[in-house]
Amino acid sequence: MSQFATYPSLAGVPVIISGGASGIGESMVRHFAGQGSKVGFVDIADAAGEKLAAELTSAGQAVRFAHCDVTDVAAYRAAIAGFAAVHGDALVLVNNAAHDQRHDWREVTPDYWDDRMAVNLKHAFFAMQAVAPGMIAAGRGSIINLGSISWMIMTPRIPLYETAKAAIHGLTRSMARELGQSGIRVNSLVPGAVITPRQMELWLDEASLKGIAAEQALAGMVYPDDVSRMALFLAAEDSAMISAQQFLVDGGWANG
């Protein structure tokens, strides 16, 4: 028997997750599918996305994958419509897709700025715009925007990523006001230093892991499943009167 919660209000609920083929996104796909939700997820990593969808579908879970670059707004809107045609209009949207590519502020060009905003911020707004009519018609819904503690702790070499992630919470609060009277909740979910294969490969070594452990209030590391369990709560009716907030899952590191 699992030690973690089951949410009856998530059973059969259409869910859309961006960047769902790996890392935190993959964990979220697995967790929502495990709750009996009907999950549609997008990613540019076709092999990983197709493998994940095939695995969960073969286990009897309602999961669909669509290749999509979320910076292509028209393509993303089409993917969202495709999921709705099969699963019904989304009642949960998780804006997870992002990319924390390191960069030197002195070398940033206008085109690079636009590219980083597109992959880390712009798609979140247009996905909300796409799913909102269905949620309004249903009189309920939950939108979860993934932020980052990076701007709170002033992580070096990612100023554009941090700018976009700081803006995510402004977007969350403004859209919570816009959509709240229609029964739609909008919240920010803010991971800390999450141990994923990509982070371990690119950024995290023994020294940095020790540094993270020293900064966190809690012993141990944050893993994708820790973030996913907060997403489940924010999506479920258990959080029915929670909106316009940001929830840090960071082991007690940042001061949000």
Give the active site residue among 7, 76, 112, 161.
Answer: 161
Note whether 116 and 164 are within 8 A (CB): yes
DSSP state letters, 129-174: HHHHHHHHHHT-EEEEEE--SHHHHT-TT-HHHHHHHHHHHHHHHH
Is 161 among the residues known to form the active site?
yes
* C-alpha pair distances (Å), 21 with each of 55, 91, 101, 127, 203: 12, 21, 18, 18, 20
Tokens 């020293």, located at residue: 214
d(CA 91, CA 121): 21
Q: What SS3 state is found at 181?
A: helix
Task: Report the C-alpha gap between 225 and 24 in whole angstroms.
Answer: 7
User: Catalytic amino acids?
Assistant: 161
